[in-house]
Amino acid sequence: MEQENPQDQSHEHRSDTILLPASTPWPMVFALGLALLITGMVTHWVVSVLGLVLVLRSIFGWFFDMFPHEQHVAVPIQAGVIEITSTRTTRSQLPVGVDHRKLLPIETFSITAGLKGGIIGGIAMIVPAALFGLIRYHSVWYAVNLLAAGGFVHWAGESDAFLAQFHLHGLLAATAIHGLTSILIGLLYGAMLPMFPRKPILTAGFVAPLLWTGILYSALGVISPILNARIDWLWFVISQIAFGLVCGFVVNLQVKVRTPQFRALPFSVRAGIHSDQSHKEDDSQ
């Protein structure tokens, strides 16, 4: 923060006063008039008439507060010195240097990396889901309709044969649900993977899908009782792992972009002349 240059100071400062809008009763009178105008609807018309009078008078008064010139009052400045100080200091505990502050992350994935990962992972997930339908019910549409059934309450009592048939509404609903969820999870992968740089395959391919499966296992009865009643958890885990491996792979393929923190690094580091030691030390710990 800087003090204003004395040469830039306006006339009002030099004269030791500041012009502020003058007090006025008309906004309050206008509000009272409006309230009375309306109150007449539930009491007596005379109240409305009184309100109308106040509204008209206050409009008149307010108008002449503003025209031809807005009413101002000059408030004198009562100057004194205020010291902006702190009893705390950073100096005694943390020596100022290149690694004085954590500057992480200096690189991350762009949003499009998460989008791509989510879309391609979502496509990959279709393969084991379709296999499940083919092997168990001889139809690729079973898994599609089962996912869509969460939105169609009247499908709760339908047979497996019904779910194995093609239904346009089911396909549209399942596409919307699967597409939206895949993109959201893909975005989450894009945000999270830089936080776990060492074992991306384990994190993206197994840990995250198993955690997600665990959450859904406990919550699916509430979210979609129909899906919960018919789901095959083994095939579900396989499809989740397929999503995780492909999405994680696609996200990791993307080029990382620099975060705003990168700009805070010394020029020599940004120019590639020196390496960012603090960042490497953090990674090695």
Residues that bind other proteins (CB under 8 A): 1-4, 9, 13, 18, 20-28, 30-32, 34-35, 38-39, 41-43, 62, 65, 75, 77-92, 96, 100-101, 103, 150-154, 173, 177, 180, 184, 222-223, 225, 260-261, 264
Residue among 60, 53, 65, 187 at smallest CA distance from 121: 187
- Distance of alpha carbon 60 from alpha carbon 17, whole angstroms: 29
Q: Report CA torsion sign: 97, 98, 102, 103.
A: positive
Shortest separation between residue 130's beta carbon and other proteins, angstroms: 22
Nearest residue (CB) to other proteins, 241 versus 265: 265
Shortest separation between residue 48's beta carbon and other proteins, angstroms: 12
How far out from the chain centre does Cα 275 lie?
33
CA angle 282, 187, 221 (to 5 degrees): 115
Q: Extract the tokens encoding 66.
A: 């503003």
Nearest residue (CB) to other proteins, 79 versus 273: 79
Q: Phi/psi class of residue 241: alpha, beta or left (left: φ > 0; alpha: ψ in -120 to 50)?
A: alpha
Residue type, 271: A
Nearest residue (CB) to other proteins, 147 versus 247: 147
Nearest residue (CB) to other proteins, 53 versus 127: 53
- Is residue 213 within 8 A of residue 237, CB to CB? The reply is yes
Strand partners, 73: 20
Shortest separation between residue 234's beta carbon and other proteins, angstroms: 25
Nearest residue (CB) to other proteins, 40 versus 245: 40
Element (H, E) at 18: strand 17-21
Shortest separation between residue 81's beta carbon and other proteins, angstroms: 6
Nearest residue (CB) to other proteins, 3 versus 285: 3
Shortest separation between residue 90's beta carbon and other proteins, angstroms: 5
Shortest separation between residue 10's beta carbon and other proteins, angstroms: 9
Task: Give the DSSP letter of residue 138.
Answer: S
